Amino acid sequence: MRIMTIQALLLDLDDTLFDHRGAADRGLRTWLAGLGLAEHPAELEGHVERWFALEARHHQRAQRRELTHAEQRRVRIRAFLPGWDLADDALADDVFAGFLGCYRAAWRAFDDAAATLDRAVSAGLAVGILTNGEQSIQTEKLRRTGLLRTDVPVFASSALPAAKPDPRSYHAACAGLSVEPSRTLMVGDSLRHDVLGARAAGLQARLLDRHGRYTGRDTAPPVQRVGALADLRWSSAA
């Protein structure tokens, strides 16, 4: 793989440094079991698939600022449990909190996350985390998993002019690191948010493909992929 000359590294958080999908899947199954909705395997898998479809749809709406973070949670829980009377916001929030407790109990960082941050900082790179989400929640994920560092700022979309893949999100993070976009590498698991959007904003980019989702598939335009953060190679430009 070609060695890049860069001054800064921006890393995505969810499913790049932090195992969001794994924690959500484990937490969801525990929560559903508590609700009595995990007794039949086929139905359980249907519930899991529907949960993640709703998450993807309404999280994107929140990133476009069509909904607040709290509103997208309420929309999701009402759609997921249509037979429940969740018209009252406080009740909807309380039911969603049941899932959140199970999700948070399953939080973990990927095994290569801390070492990658150490390696990048030790190499003299300016390092930041650029994530779509609420600043307080994303920071808490890092704190709880031991990844929060004073020398690695967190740029969350709730505190930025826009969310990825809007060019303003990458440019704001680069400005926060005092580096030019062209000398910055963005790495993450989302082709749209972490690669194509970053490229369009003038950054270099690598797609993190931990599970081989893109193996044997062409992407347009072609992208450079790594299977783990440990596979990243760079040289530092002073």
Share of the chain above pLDDT 90, in %: 89
Count the domains in the chain: 2
Single out the residue in 105, 132, 160 at which a domain terminates: 105
Verify that 13 and 25 share a domain, yes or no.
no
Verify that 139 and 231 share a domain, yes or no.
yes
Single out the residue in 38, 71, 105 at which a domain terminates: 105
CB 9 within 8 A of CB 120: yes
**DSSP E strand stretches across 96-219:** 126-131, 154-156, 184-188, 204-208
- The percent helix, strand, coil of the chain (3-state, each to 5) is 50, 15, 35
The model's pLDDT over 60-109, given as tens digits with 9 standing for 90+, comes to 999 999 999 999 999 999 999 999 999 999 999 999 999 999 999 999 99
Verify that 197 and 226 share a domain, yes or no.
yes
Q: Which DSSP letter does residue 110 get?
A: -
Which residues lie below 8 Å from residue 113, measured CB to CB, with a gap of 6+?
Answer: 16, 17, 18, 145, 147, 229
Verify that 85 and 32 share a domain, yes or no.
yes
The model's pLDDT over 142-177, given as tens digits with 9 standing for 90+, comes to 999 999 999 999 999 999 999 999 999 999 999 999
The model's pLDDT over 108-153, given as tens digits with 9 standing for 90+, comes to 999 999 999 999 999 999 999 999 999 999 999 999 999 999 999 9
pLDDT of residue 173: 98
Single out the residue in 89, 105, 121 at which a domain terminates: 105
Verify that 154 and 226 share a domain, yes or no.
yes
CA 123 to each of CA 7, 9, 146, 163, 212: distance values in angstroms, whole numbers, following the listed order = 10, 11, 21, 28, 28
Q: Is the pLDDT of residue 30 over 60?
A: yes
Verify that 148 and 63 share a domain, yes or no.
no
Q: How many whole angstroms separate alpha carbon 148 and alpha carbon 122? A: 16
Rounding to the nearest 10 degrees, give the CA dihedral for residues 168, 118, 190, 155.
-30
Q: How many whole angstroms separate alpha carbon 119 and alpha carbon 115? A: 6
Verify that 51 and 8 share a domain, yes or no.
no
Q: How far apart are the first and last CA of the chain?
A: 22
CA 30 to each of CA 80, 106, 140: distance values in angstroms, whole numbers, following the listed order = 16, 10, 22
CB 34 within 8 A of CB 109: no
Print the domain residue range for 69.
20-105
CB 66 within 8 A of CB 80: no
pLDDT of residue 2: 61
For residue 6, list its beta bridge partners. 236
Verify that 99 and 142 share a domain, yes or no.
no
Verify that 226 and 117 share a domain, yes or no.
yes
CATH number at residue 31: 1.10.150
Q: Is the pLDDT of residue 10 over 70?
A: yes
Share of the chain above pLDDT 70, in %: 95
Q: Is the pLDDT of residue 238 over 70?
A: no
